Chains A and B, each alone.
Chain A
């Protein structure tokens, strides 16, 4: 059984997909972009964008009664490897209280939607 999950604190999807889908004890979170509640790219640079993306992910986790500690796998897409050090630092700060850092992959891509510099998708384990 699949259940769509959304959060009032995360912008509605720009395409035909669910913000997150729960199946059994797993939660699949769509790639989050650095968009505010109104769907606008947040001002600032790569650090602000990474924080917004992680904040969106956190809101979706909360909507499923989970939090950052429930993340098991994270894929980070960056539009250019030069952004990687800043993304990694912001990610580390955000997840500093997570005892078991999730497995992670980093993929440099040519372009992301809306010209975003970073997009993050994740899988979390939740209580059924």
Chain B
């Protein structure tokens, strides 16, 4: 019944006040540590999202260059700040994905990574990809308990 369905959808749309925010799943919340973008456009993604007791931190890179050690440290510092902003911590991280532009950077990345997540580090996956936006050497994303 495509027609009646369309009518129902139209009716539903009319019932929503024009100024109402789009409906969000219950419990999902975006977090912008450094404030929401002020360019008037809808944000592309959230630096962090909490949902169902977990926090998901977006893939983070250092866009102004540096050595693999410098970039890894910067990225982990940024992730730590985002986790703390939502009341979580590095120790609460449960899963970490590491994307490298060159698998030969695995060793130095690993040494910089060591100890940053406490004595019970998260589960981790590391892969080398064809390229990372902005020419980054490393990009890391994290899931943690909120």
Q: Residues on A close to B: CB < 8 A? A: 1-4, 13, 15-21, 23-24, 26, 28-31, 75, 77, 107, 109-113, 119, 121, 123
Contacts and interface: CB of A to CB of B under 8 A. Distances in A.
Contact of B95 (A24, A28, A107): A28
The 4 closest A-B pairs by CB, nearest first: A31-B125, A17-B124, A28-B95, A30-B123
Interface in B94-119: 94-97, 102-103, 106, 110, 113-115, 117
Contact of A109 (B95, B117, B123, B127): B127
B129 A16 contact: no
Q: State the main secondary structure of chain A at its contact with B.
A: strand
Contacts of B92: 2
B112 to A, nearest CB: 10
B113 A16 contact: yes
Contacts of A110: 103, 128-130
Q: Which of A4, A18, A24, A119 has the most CB of B within 10 A?
A: A18
Contact of A16 (B91, B103, B121, B145): B121
B126 interface: yes
Contacts of B113: 15-16
B123 A18 contact: yes
Contact of B122 (A21, A107, A111): A21
Contacts of B114: 16
